[in-house]
Amino acid sequence: MTKKSGLFDVDFSMTTKELTASIKGEKSMAARYKLFSEAVRTIISQMEVSGYRPRTIKDYDTVLKNFLKSTGVTYLEEIAVETIYSWLDSMQVVNQTKLTRLKVLKSFLGKCFTNGWLHMNFWQSINVKVDKKVKKGAKPNDIATLVSLIDKNTFIGLRDVTAILTIYKTGVRINTLGQLTEKHIDWENRTLVLEGAILKNHQILKLPIDEQLIDLYRVLIQCNDKIKMHYKESNINLFISSKGASLNTKSTNNAISKQLTKYAKRFGLENINAYAIRRAYAKNLHDKGASIAIISKALGHSDLAVTTQYLDLDVEEVANDLRSYL
């Protein structure tokens, strides 16, 4: 009896390891591994539900797409220390930008770890060395000079002065400033009551304001109402454009940020920008005796180390402060 050619041949592609996995109670490779693209979609959905800012979510999406394109990974489990370093080495950017992108990736992997998709947080030890230059805060005298030179009899001048003093007296970020509305002002208690949705750390914050800011807000709101009525705008923002529209909340493209740059050049003032004025607020609190913990909370920081950078303490100042504890 002759063997029929091909009759009993089997096209069997499953490996012995895969075949015996079910006997040992192990999951198959496809079931065990998490697709990188699927993980990204899920994490971004979780961030949206949690109330993360659209800008933060967009940054995540951009960095993770870049990582995927550069490394070509399919599954989360393919990512290793070498993969991340290879990705960093492929970037033709300065180290500070590499560090920023790395932080996004590490945050994403941390969320994957929390979701149970990864079982080791191997990425924690990866870092990019950056020589951090301490950015100085604006000098109070320069802020006072700026406020005195701006024409407050124009809408733009009034708006800008109010914005400058709001940052200097409350420390709010420029993108939070662009999202302030009348409802955030507690007139009776002279307080800004900010919900997490307009803050970087998503936590509610109350910031006291003085009578001067209260008066400025009242005048500004009256001007806003006239302008919005004229241009038939219906937004409820406290700081608006000359045509009644909302300001772009991105700090790099904010109308007030652009105005500050113009003022600095026009009046010959150094270090006048939203970040420097915010740092001046922190330094002013410290000079008045506020603890770093309180200052950190007021600034909406999650890391005290970031707050200490804002304070720009020189060597002699630190020595003098330490001497009082001896």
**What are the residue boundaries of the structural domains of the chain, listed by start?**
28-125, 140-278
Position 27 scores a pLDDT of 47
Return d(Cα 195, Cα 202) in angstroms, integer.
7
C-beta of residue 299 within 8 angstroms of C-beta of residue 171: yes
Residue 29, pLDDT score: 44
Q: Look up residue 46 and give its two tokens.
A: 């979780």
- Residues of the chain scoring pLDDT < 50: 26-31, 252
| The two domains 28-125 and 140-278 share their CATH topology (first three levels equal) | no
Predicted confidence at residue 133, as pLDDT, reads 63
Q: The tokens of 258 are what?
A: 């652009």
CB-based contact 148:209 (threshold 8 Å): no
Closest to 64 (Cα-Cα) out of 87, 86, 82 = 87
pLDDT of residue 304: 77
Decide if 18 contacts 101 (C-beta within 8 A): no
Please give the order of strands across the beta sheet that includes 185-186: 185-186, 191-194, 205-208
292 burial type by CB count under 10 A (0-12 exposed, 13-18 middle, 19+ buried): middle
- Torsion sign, CA atoms 279, 248, 163, 155: positive
pLDDT at 291 (0 to 100): 86
Nearest-angstrom CA–CA distance, 68 and 194: 37
Helix (H) / strand (E) containing 186: strand 185-186
Q: In this predicted structure, what is the pLDDT of residue 134? A: 63
CA distance 83 to 89: 10
Contact 88, 132 (CB under 8 A): no
Is 140-278 assigned to CATH 1.10.443.10?
yes
Would you call 94 exposed, middle or buried from its count of C-beta atoms within 10 A (0-12, 13-18, 19+)? Answer: exposed
Q: Which residues contact 151 (CB under 8 A, 6 or more apart)?
A: 157
Length of the chain as a residue count:
326
Give the CATH superfamily of 28-125.
Tyrosine recombinase, N-terminal domain (1.10.150.130)
How many Cβ atoms sit within 10 Å of the Cβ of residue 204?
A: 10
pTM given for the model? 0.63
